[in-house]
Structure 1
Amino acid sequence: MIGLQEAIDIFVFSVRDGFVQVSAFVAITVLLFSYIQYRTGGRIVSYLESHERMQPIAGALLGLTPGCGGAIIAMPLYIRGTVSFGTVVAALAATAGDSAFVILALAPKAAAYAYAMAFVAAILFGYAIDIWGLGVGRVDRAVNRISRPMTDGGFTTTNVADGGPSIPNYEMDQSCHDHGHGTGDDSGLLTTISHGVHVLWWGVAVAGLVAGVLYLVRGAPEVPLEFAPTFFGLFTIAGLVGTTASFYLHFVGRRFIGEGEAGRIRDDFTSAYETFQHAAMETSMVTVWVIAAYLIYEYSIVIFSIDIGAIAAAAGVLAPIGGALLGLIPGCAPQIVFAQVYAQGGIPFSALTANAISQDGDALFPLMAIDMKAAIVATIYTTIPALIVGIVLYAVWPYARFGFGVIG
Structure 2
Amino acid sequence: MTAPLQFGGLSLADALDIFVFSVRDGFVQVSAFVAVTVLVFSYIQYRTGGRIVSYLERNERMQPLAGALLGLTPGCGGAIIAMPLYIRGSVSFGTVIAALAATAGDSAFVILALAPEAAVYAYGLAFVAAVGFGYAIDAWGLGVGRVDRAVSRLGRPVTDGGFATANVASGGPSVPHYEMDDAHSHAESQSEETALARVATVFSHGVHVLWWAVAVAGLVAGVLYLARGAPDVPLAFDATFFGLFTVAGLVGTTASFYLHFVGRKFIGEGAAGRVRDDFASAYETFQHAAMETSMVTVWVIVAYLVYEYSVVLFGIDIAALAAAAGVLAPVGGALLGLIPGCAPQIVFAQLYAEGGLPFSALTANAISQDGDALFPLLAIDLKAAIVATIYTTIPALVVGVALHFVWPYSQFGFGVL
Do these two structures clear the TM 0.5 threshold for a shared fold by scoring above it?
yes
Distance apart, 1:177 and its partner CA: 2.7
Instruction: Show the 5 A alignment for 1:203-352.
Output: 203-352=213-362
Question: Aligned in 2, Cα 1:161/1:257: closer, same or farther, shift over 3 Å?
Answer: closer
Q: Show the counterpart of 2:178.
A: 177
1:39-82 deviations in whole A, cap 9, x for unaligned?
Answer: 00010000000010000000000000000000001011111000
1:14-57 deviations in whole A, cap 9, x for unaligned?
Answer: 00000000000000000000000000001000000001000000
Unaligned runs of 5+ in 2: 1-8, 167-172
87, 93, 102: which one aligns with 1:85: 93
Structure 2 counterpart of 1:90, one-letter code? A
Question: Structure 2: how far apart are the matches of 1:315 and 1:288?
Answer: 37
Q: Which range is displaced more, 169-178 or 359-368?
A: 169-178
SS of residue in 1 equivalent to 2:371: coil
Question: Structure 2: how far apart are the matches of 1:224 and 1:259?
Answer: 35
Question: Structure 2: how far apart are the matches of 1:227 and 1:239?
Answer: 11
Question: Aligned in 2, Cα 1:47/1:259: closer, same or farther, shift over 3 Å?
Answer: same
Distance apart, 1:208 and its partner CA: 0.1
Structure 1 counterpart of 2:265, one-letter code? R
Q: Show the counterpart of 1:123.
A: 131
Distance apart, 1:125 and its partner CA: 0.3
Q: Show the counterpart of 1:32.
A: 40
SS of residue in 2 equivalent to 1:226: coil
Distance apart, 1:407 and its partner CA: 6.0
1:194-223 deviations in whole A, cap 9, x for unaligned?
Answer: 000000000000000000000000000000
Distance apart, 1:187 and its partner CA: 1.0
Structure 2 counterpart of 1:199, one-letter code? V
1:124-165 deviations in whole A, cap 9, x for unaligned?
Answer: 00000000135x56xx7xxxxxxxxxxxxxxx6354999xx9
Distance apart, 1:377 and its partner CA: 0.6
Q: Show the counterpart of 2:147.
A: 157
Structure 2 counterpart of 1:239, one-letter code? G
**Contact 1:160/1:166 (CA < 8 Å) preserved in 2?**
no
Q: Show the counterpart of 1:153.
A: none
SS of residue in 2 equivalent to 1:92: helix
Structure 2 counterpart of 1:181, one-letter code? H
Question: Structure 1: how far apart are the matches of 2:415 and 2:244?
Answer: 36
Q: Show the counterpart of 1:375.
A: 385
Distance apart, 1:406 and its partner CA: 6.1
396, 404, 407: which one aligns with 2:413: 404
Distance apart, 1:405 and its partner CA: 5.0
Question: Aligned in 2, Cα 1:166/1:128: closer, same or farther, shift over 3 Å?
Answer: farther
Q: Give the length in aligned residue pairs.
A: 387
205, 209, 234: which one aligns with 1:199: 209
Which of the two has higher C-alpha Rg? 2
- 1:71 paired with 2:99, answer no
TM value normalised by structure 2: 0.89
SS of residue in 2 equivalent to 1:286: helix
- 1:47 paired with 2:55, answer yes
Distance apart, 1:258 and its partner CA: 2.4
7, 10, 16: which one aligns with 1:8: 16
**Contact 2:117/2:415 (CA < 8 Å) preserved in 1?**
no
Distance apart, 1:315 and its partner CA: 4.0
TM value normalised by structure 1: 0.91
- 1:393 paired with 2:403, answer yes
Distance apart, 1:310 and its partner CA: 2.0
Distance apart, 1:181 and its partner CA: 1.8
Q: Show the counterpart of 2:3.
A: none
SS of residue in 1 equivalent to 2:81: helix
**Contact 1:15/1:243 (CA < 8 Å) preserved in 2?**
yes
Unaligned runs of 5+ in 1: 141-155
Question: Aligned in 2, Cα 1:217/1:166: closer, same or farther, shift over 3 Å?
Answer: farther
Question: Aligned in 2, Cα 1:178/1:46: closer, same or farther, shift over 3 Å?
Answer: closer
- State, as a whole percentage, how many aligned pairs show the same letter: 76
SS of residue in 1 equivalent to 2:105: coil
1:318-344 deviations in whole A, cap 9, x for unaligned?
Answer: 110110000000000000000111111
33, 56, 60: which one aligns with 2:64: 56
1:242-300 deviations in whole A, cap 9, x for unaligned?
Answer: 00000000000001102342311100000000000000000000000000000000000
